[in-house]
Amino acid sequence: MADDASAAAGPGGPGGPGIGGRGGGSRGRGSKDHARAGRWTRFKACVAIGDYNGHVGLGVKCSKEVATAIRGAIILAKLSIVPVRRGYWGNKISKPHTVPCKVTGHCGSVLVCLIPAPRGTGIVSAPVPKKLLLMAGIDDCYTSAQGCTATLGNIAKATFDAISKTYSYLTPDLWKETVFTSSPYQEFTDHLVKTHTRVFVQRIQAPAVATT
């Protein structure tokens, strides 16, 4: 299989106006296979969609036609939209601007780690994760990537996996308030500390009755 370096832009182009009022970008790649019947080409489209305010989706579709691949990827991206939880790096001033904690996502050999950053840092990342983070509404974030990051599909899926995990961590601010119940000894302490007079009860044994 030989990869073709040509890229197919989706409706609006990368970073252009999206579908249904959302911002979206797409990236395509063609692959050529050799079979007994001859050479046949397939196109793989990767589409990201988001509202830049806490929602993002990613869709990947492969088809013989470029338009069909992009159309299918847009549908899958809309169906895979997930909410994004945002947080603060330091004091809780103004609106949330970064990820709430360190989150890690992986796909294939690619491992992407998102790290909270101070306000004003921006997104320190490669172009593909940066686009996804911007669509998710994250303004400041550090990233760390390992593996074959040149594979566009894997790094996009790994970043989306990390973003979708922001709501999977139960941080202390989401903990439910614990209500402790007092033990009987603690509840009736005032009654137990009082001096009580012992009451002696004399037991009278009943006389034995002979039975015949």
For residue 28, what pLDDT band results from cuts at 50, 70 and 90?
A: low
**Stated pTM of the model:** 0.69
List strand residue ranges (DSSP E) for 64-207, in order. Answer: 82-83, 103-107, 110-116, 123-124, 141-146
Query: Position 146: which residue type?
Result: Q
Tell me the per-residue pLDDT of 167-198, one tens digit each, with 9 for 90 and over. Answer: 988 888 778 888 888 887 787 777 777 766 77
Residue 24 has pLDDT above 70, yes or no: no
Helix (H, G, I), strand (E, B) or coil at 101: coil
Which residue bears the tokens 């909270």? 116
> Predicted confidence band at 36 (pLDDT cuts at 50, 70, 90)?
low
β-pairing, 82-83 vs 141-146, is unpaired
Alpha-carbon Rg for the chain in angstroms:
32
Q: Using alpha carbons only, what angle is made at residue 148 by residues 76 and 1, rounded to the nearest 5 degrees?
A: 70
Predicted local distance difference test score (pLDDT) of residue 114 = 97
What is the residue-averaged pLDDT of the chain? Answer: 82
pLDDT tens sequence across 111-167: 999 999 999 999 999 999 999 999 999 999 999 999 999 999 999 999 999 999 999
Return the residue matching tokens 């044994």. 205
Helix axis angle for 152-164 and 127-135, nearest 10°, is 30
Condensed to tens digits (0 to 9), the pLDDT of residues 40-53 reads 788 999 999 999 99
Higher pLDDT, 152 or 210: 152
One-letter amino acid at 194 equals K
pLDDT band at 4 (very low <50, low <70, confident <90, very high): very low
| pLDDT value, residue 174 | 79
Q: How far is CA 187 from the centre of its chain?
A: 45
Domain covering 40-174: architecture: 2-Layer Sandwich (3.30)
Residues 78 and 70: beta-carbon distance below 8 Å: no
Residues 6+ apart with CB under 8 A from 93: 119
Q: Are 25 and 13 in contact (CB under 8 A)?
A: yes
**Residue 31: what pLDDT?**
63
Residues shown for the chain:
212
pLDDT at position 180: 83
Instruction: Render pLDDT for 56-92 as a digit per residue (tens, 0 to 9).
Output: 999 999 999 999 999 999 999 999 999 999 999 988 8
Domain boundaries, the chain: 40-174
In a 3-state reduction of DSSP, which class is residue 28? strand
